Amino acid sequence: MAELSESHVQGVSDVALIDDTIGAHFDKAAARWGDHEALVVPHQDIHWSWAELKQRVDDFAAGLIELGLAPGERIGIWSPNNMEWVVTQFATAKAGLILVNINPAYRLAELEFALNKVECTALITATQFKSSDYIAMLCDLAPEVDSAAPGDLHADKLPHLRSVIQIGGDMTAGMYAFDDVGARGAAAGHAAVDALADTLKADDPINIQFTSGTTGSPKGATLTHRNILNNGYFIGEKFALTEADRLCIPVPLYHCFGMVIGNLACLTHGSAMVFPGEAFDPLATLQTVEAERCTGVLGVPTMFIAMLQNPEFESFDFSSLRTGMMAGSPCPVEVMKEVIERMQMDQVTIGYGMTETSPVSTQTDLDDPLERRVGSVGRVHPQVEIKIVDEEGETVAPGATGEFCARGYHVMRGYWDDAERTADAIDTDGWMHSGDLATMDEEGYFNIVGRIKDMVIRGGENLYPREIEEYLYRHPKVADVQVFGVPDPKYGEELCAWIKLAEGEAADDLEIREFCQGQIAHHKIPRHIHFVDEFPMTVTGKAQKFVMREQMIAQLGLGEVETA
């Protein structure tokens, strides 16, 4: 291809966008691949075909309508990965309900905010998971549930919530059982679901996902059928998925990684969705890959690192694997190489995007040269437009660093009931501003060099933590590393590296600095080096640098440094 003169590209495609709703497309998938396996959940002893999954989805959709829920109403789901989550995803789409994904790690204040922000009239909740007693927390927030008839809740703190649907466990007063809702639908029949189908449109909002910002209250990214169904389709095309594929999905369903890159990529290609557990466990994932002969695996870098370092790793058979995606946070080159070589995932891809863009904007191709597949986040997705801009909003030249901006079918409708923050994110020309620093080369391959807010300014020099992390990953003793800035009275900011060593290894500050000497510029060598066993993480496996920064400031006795 011809070299590009500026960092602005559009993804061409001779494939028209899918104009279906998710429900209509689900019916087509079930008709086409009815006998093929659709859903595998070993911990629930489930191996369902598309026809079997459709029966349960239709029953549950009809049951939701029987409860009096109407198209456009918001229904939350607060649960780890399970069969019920998948059924809910497709059933709410068929019923025209807007599914609100609630982080399973949320606690009382966060749950209260999410439910009230989007005015959920119903909530589907797990009974418990690990140390989280969801029912107890909900009863604490809404004690009125004990004396309410199911479907007639009136709680002071949750004024819009009427119905609570409980997944599993001993039944709680004032709540419906998940299975009973499906039974209601089966008894009532599917006429109401069928009648709704022609009234629902591809551009209707169907999903709200709360973004996990480090400051301020979460924002509810509002996505349509067209947004996420098409993104799932194009992701699946990049994987070269077919009905013969079986995709292992250890990433959480409440996040777009699980429900779009996982479920919707499978739906649009007839592939099996395989869930190795309620939440990520490296050993369970490895066992499931082998037992279910998975052809692909999804994960953030920390998940792949945990699998590669599992003591039993060498005992597993990975011969069925070929593809998948590493995304969600910057993907270390060395980790990608290990995944390709040791897990036999020679067609693994890297993707980049954000919740607000459904989520993927760029992805590597299966036939990209190895150095491109491990050293970039790929090229522009079909039907998507991307540009890299400077602080004045001008498009930069190839190779220059600027903010990654995207435009196209995949950009969200906006943040729910938050016009001000929507306007801050999406400009008047429809460009979604990511807040990520990126570069694009002359051949259209993108690299993410960090967050604008993560960039460290040391003595007037702009330093990008991602670049330094990539170098430190080359050290044979380093399993994982996070680099960030801390205040410094002389330079304004100094670099700090938190390092997790490989199992059984030992190292000190001097060894790490000597590894850097003469290899990277002196001002890029971290001033502060801290060895840790674990990083503070979000539930999706993203390292929380702001927490590390706060801890180091306290540990080093530093104060914030005023800058002009």
Domains in the chain and their CATH numbers? 22-219 (3.40.50.12780), 456-556 (3.30.300.30)
> How far apart are the C-alpha atoms of 339 and 332, rounded to whole Å?
11
Mean per-residue pLDDT, 201-209 = 98
Give the C-alpha distances (Å, rounded to integers) separating 149 from 162, 163, 223, 320, 523. Answer: 10, 9, 33, 50, 65
| Residue 99, pLDDT score | 98
Q: Encode burial over 451-460: b for 16+ CB neighbours within 10 A, e otherwise.
A: beebbbebee
* CA nearest neighbour of 266 among 289, 236, 223: 236
pLDDT at 374 over 60: yes
Mean per-residue pLDDT, 165-171 = 96
Which residues are within 8 A (CB) of 336 and not within 5 positions of it... i.e. 6 or more apart?
Answer: 326, 348, 350, 373, 374
* CA nearest neighbour of 538 among 221, 98, 323, 218: 218
Torsion, Cα of 455, 456, 461, 465 (10° steps):
-70
Q: How confident is the model at residue 216 (pLDDT cuts 50, 70, 90)?
A: low
> How far apart are the C-alpha atoms of 386 and 122, rounded to whole Å?
38
Q: For the segment 511-560, what is each residue's pLDDT rounded down to a tens digit?
A: 999 999 988 878 899 999 999 999 998 877 788 898 999 999 999 998 65
> How far apart are the C-alpha atoms of 318 and 543, rounded to whole Å?
28
pTM across the whole model:
0.87
> How far apart are the C-alpha atoms of 543 and 56, rounded to whole Å?
37
- Pairing mode of beta strands 296-299, 323-326: parallel
> How far apart are the C-alpha atoms of 495 and 486, rounded to whole Å?
6
Could you tell me the maximum CA-CA distance found in the chain, to the nearest angstrom? Answer: 74
Q: How confident is the model at residue 77 (pLDDT cuts 50, 70, 90)?
A: very high
pLDDT at 242 over 50: yes
Q: For the segment 258-315, what is each residue's pLDDT rounded down to a tens digit?
A: 999 999 999 999 999 999 999 999 999 999 999 999 999 999 888 998 999 999 999 9
Q: Cβ(336)–Cβ(349) under 8 Å?
A: no
| Element (DSSP H or E) covering residue 466 | helix 465-472
Structure tokens at 195: 């009648």
| Residue 212, pLDDT score | 61
Residue 343 backbone dihedrals phi, psi, to 5 degrees? -100, 0
Q: Encode burial over 329-350: b for 16+ CB neighbours within 10 A, e otherwise.
A: bbbbbbbbebbbeebebebbbb
Q: For the segment 45-57, what is each residue's pLDDT rounded down to a tens digit?
A: 999 999 999 999 9
Q: How confident is the model at residue 214 (pLDDT cuts 50, 70, 90)?
A: very low
**Please, what is the average pLDDT of the chain?**
94
pLDDT at 564 over 80: no
Q: How confident is the model at residue 490 (pLDDT cuts 50, 70, 90)?
A: confident
pLDDT at 412 over 60: yes
pLDDT at 489 over 90: no
pLDDT at 361 over 70: yes
- Pairing mode of beta strands 446-451, 432-440: antiparallel
Q: Cβ(380)–Cβ(361) under 8 Å?
A: yes
| Residue 211, pLDDT score | 85
In sequence order, what E strands does 11-121 have?
37-41, 46-49, 74-78, 98-102
In sequence order, what E strands does 489-546 have?
492-501, 528-531
